[in-house]
Structure 1
Amino acid sequence: MADPQALRDLWLRQYHPAPEGGTTLVCFPYAGGAASYYHPLSEALSPGVRVLSVQYPGRQDRRAEPVRTDLHALADEIAEVLSACEEGPLVFFGHSMGSTLAYETARRLREGPSPEQLLGLVVSGRRGPDTVRRETVHLRDDAGIIEEVVRLDRGSAALLADPDIAGMVLPALRGDYTAVETYAPRPGARLACPVSVLTGDADPQVTAEEAAAWAGATDGAFRLRTFPGGHFYLNARRDAVTAALAEDLAAFAAPARV
């Protein structure tokens, strides 16, 4: 195994200081996203909560590395990194593809030597893992992939209209869409930790029933909260989402203090 500090520096980003010994919130980006997406959340929760953002291969400072196109393989890598580098209680938070990846990483920690380390899982903008939709965005040409991204996040239209920027992000987008659209959960134990779901009421990617299906992923407590907005509702509802996460963090940690 590589040196733990080298692994941490490669895979995890911490943007703001936080006290040692508390709960660490580990954030998983969406398809095509990068660790820096969670910089505002880290700032909002600092200094009370230590926030780590996962940096996937194939983007930003890891752009020269191959994009992973298998969600299970990527979850294996991230679980290995967290097991080697992080001590103390963890909470996972993911949005869209990041939700599925956080869930799969959580399953690996549950099967590891310290399953109690994970206090809870918060997922956003993603269907329960056992729901099925046939999606083929990863098979489209470049223009088709960009069209889908803009459909879900109109704020990205101006950036992706720049050919240089589009050229930089398209390999990560195609690889991530391949990973999430070919994903299927493997048989295995359900999670034991609580699961909290955040969803937008106008998200074309997630119906109310598909969001509620996350209840079947755990034997622990389950909570579902709905916000106004589409797939990237959290951009416009940043304060409300931050408050919801702070509430979940406190609730997840409470049993550990008993």
Structure 2
Amino acid sequence: MLQLFLLPFAGGNRFSYDFLIKKLKTNTSNIKCYPLELPGRGRRFGEKLARDKKLAIDDYLHQLTKLRDKTPYIIYGHSMGATLGLSIIKRMEEKNDAPLQFIATGNAGPKIKEENEDKPSTKKHLLNDEKFKKALRKLGGIPDEILENEELYSFFSSILRADFQILEEGGNADQSIIINTPIYALMGDQEKSVKHINNWQKFTNTSFKAQVLTGNHFFIHEHTETLTTIILSTYKKA
């Protein structure tokens, strides 16, 4: 058996990986999938929104530790999930319970920022609604039905702003992290920072693989087969 812990992207929740979980279940029953989510998202909507990076990492660690059994496991994070995943794995290694692999998608790793991203006026969570919607459209993955419906937008924008705040005000502690877990990084060829994908190699003492696939930031929905193959190949080596 293998445990697979899934960390969502900004605005995501435990349902964000249903497309991948469904595909995995058609291939094997030996992988237990655990999609996690932060307070204020998905089924945890009634809880206060998490806006602090350290608290978000601690929350994920608490969930993961409660769900862990004695079988091998993988941590997979997309975008924001990959950012938080690095710190989570470091903490798990300190507990002598390291994963078999860290799969990071839609993310070029620590130290890589968009041009002018460090300027306060460009932080996404501080943008007015017009500019925020423009940034979300550029990023992709948010249906126009949500952006054009004020009630839906109002609901989801608070969650998205909270997630961007976690990323944009969470500090740079992860830039000095080096893990002993293999990293497999994947990005879409239309992503702005895709040329920096090999940056992830700096953050592991062991094996590293990288792959660029066709698509934008949410290329994962078009490449479920590739993700499934990577996960299954790790399981077979366990």
Question: Scaled by the length of structure 2, what TM-score is found?
Answer: 0.88
Q: Note the 1:229-248 alignment, pairs <5 A.
A: 229-248=215-234
Rounded Cα–Cα distance in structure 2 between residues aligned with 1:248 and 1:148 = 36
Structure 1 counterpart of 2:36, which letter?
V
User: Residues 176-220 of structure 1, C-alpha deviation per residue, up to 9 Å, x if partnerless?
Assistant: 00111223342765211101001111112x2322x1111111101
Identity across aligned pairs (percent)?
22
Partner Cα distance (1:127, 1:145) in 2: 22
Code of the aligned partner of 1:62: R
Distance 1:155 1:170, change over 3 A: closer
Out of 178-187 and 50-59, give the one that drifted further.
Answer: 178-187
Report the Cα distance in structure 1 between the residues aligned to 2:21 and 2:36, rounded to whole angstroms: 12
Aligned residue for 2:161, secondary structure, equals helix
Give the number of equivalent residue pairs.
227
| Residues 1:179 and 2:186 aligned together | no
Residue 139 of structure 2 is matched in structure 1 by: 152
The answer to whether the aligner puts 1:193 opposite 2:181 as a matched pair is: yes
Whether the 8 Å contact between 1:31 and 1:176 is mirrored in structure 2 is yes
1:17 is matched with which residue?
A: none
* Divergent runs of 4+, >3 A: 248-251
- Corresponding residue for 1:111? 94
**Residue aligning to 2:102:** 121
- Where relative contact order (Cα < 8 A, 6+ residues apart) is larger, the structure is 2
- Structure 1 residues 166, 177: CA separation in 2 closer, same or farther (over 3 Å shift)? same
Post-superposition shift, 1:154? 5.7
Task: Name the CA distance, whole Å, in 2 between partners of 1:33 and 1:52.
Answer: 14
Distance 1:249 1:184 in 2: 34
Residues 154 and 91 (structure 1), Cα distance of their counterparts in 2 relative to 1, 3 Å cut = closer
Pick which of 59-68 and 162-171 moved more: 59-68
Counterpart of 1:87? Answer: 69
Q: Give a deviation string over 1:216-258, Cα, whole Å, max 9, x none.
A: 111011000110111111122222332233234434x2xxxxx
TM-score (norm 1): 0.81
Identify if the C-alpha distance between structure 1 residues 78 and 145 changes in structure 2 by more than 3 Å, giving closer, same or farther: same
What corresponds to 1:224 in structure 2? Answer: 210
Structure 1 unmatched runs, 5+:
1-21, 254-258
User: Aligned partners of 2:206, 2:222: CA distance in 1, in Å?
Assistant: 30
Which structure 2 residues correspond to residues 1-258 of structure 1 after superposition, within 5 A? 22-46=1-25, 47-88=29-70, 89-112=72-95, 114-116=96-98, 118-133=99-114, 134=117, 136-153=123-140, 156-186=143-173, 190-204=178-192, 206-209=193-196, 211-251=197-237, 253=238
Distance in 2 of aligned mates of 1:64 and 1:144: 28
SS at match of 2:143: helix
Give RMSD over aligned pairs.
Answer: 1.9
